Amino acid sequence: MEALLSSTTFPVKRALYSPPSDKPLQFFPTKINLNRPQKSSHSVQKNASFSLSLPLRISASAQTAPSTEASTSSSVPSEMKAWSYSEYGAVDVLKFESNVAVPEVKEDQVLIKVVAAALNPVDFKRRLGKFQATDSPLPTVPGYDVAGIVVKVGSQVKGLKEGDEVYGDIHEKALDGPKQFGSLAEYTAVEEKLLALKPKNLDFAQAAGLPLAIETAYEGLERAGFSSGKSILVLGGAGGVGSLVIQLAKHVFGASKIAATASTPKLDFLRSLGADLAIDYTKENFEDLPERFDVVYDSVGQCDRAVKAVKEGGSVVVLTGAVTPPGFRFVVTSNGEMLKKLNPFLESGKVKPLIDPKGPFPFDQVKEAFSYLETGRATGKVVIYPIP
Instruction: Give the 3-state secondary structure of the chain.
Output: CCCCHHHCCEEECCEEECCCCCCCECCCCECCCCCCCCCCCCCCCCECCECCCCCCCCCHHHHCCCCCCCCCHHHCCCEEEEEEECCCCCHHHCEEEEEEECECCCCCEEEEEEEEEEECHHHHHHHCCCCHHHCCCCCEECCCEEEEEEEEECCCCCCCCCCCEEEEECCCECCCCCCCECCCECEEEEEHHHEEECCCCCCHHHHHCCHHHHHHHHHHHHHCCCCCCCEEEEECCCEHHHHHHHHHHHHCCCCCEEEEEECHHHHHHHHHHCCCEEEECCCCCHHHCCCCEEEEEECCCCHHHHCCCEEEEEEEEECCCCCCCCEEECCCECCHHHHHHHHHHHHCCCCCCCECCCCCECHHHHHHHHHHHCCCCCCEEEEECCCC
The pLDDT value recorded for residue 256 is: 98
The pLDDT value recorded for residue 13 is: 34
Domains of the chain: 5-201+356-384 (3.90.180.10), 213-329 (3.40.50.720)
The pLDDT value recorded for residue 21 is: 40
The pLDDT value recorded for residue 73 is: 58
pTM score, two decimals?
A: 0.81
Q: How would you write the pLDDT of the chain (388 residues) with one tens digit per residue?
A: 333 333 333 333 333 333 334 444 444 343 333 333 343 333 333 333 333 333 322 222 233 333 333 334 568 999 999 999 999 999 999 999 999 999 999 999 999 999 999 999 999 999 999 999 999 999 999 999 999 999 999 999 999 999 999 999 999 999 999 999 999 999 999 999 999 999 999 999 999 999 999 999 999 999 999 999 999 999 999 999 999 999 999 999 999 999 999 999 999 999 999 999 999 999 999 999 999 999 999 999 999 999 999 999 999 999 999 999 999 999 999 999 999 999 999 999 999 999 999 999 999 999 999 999 999 999 999 999 999 9
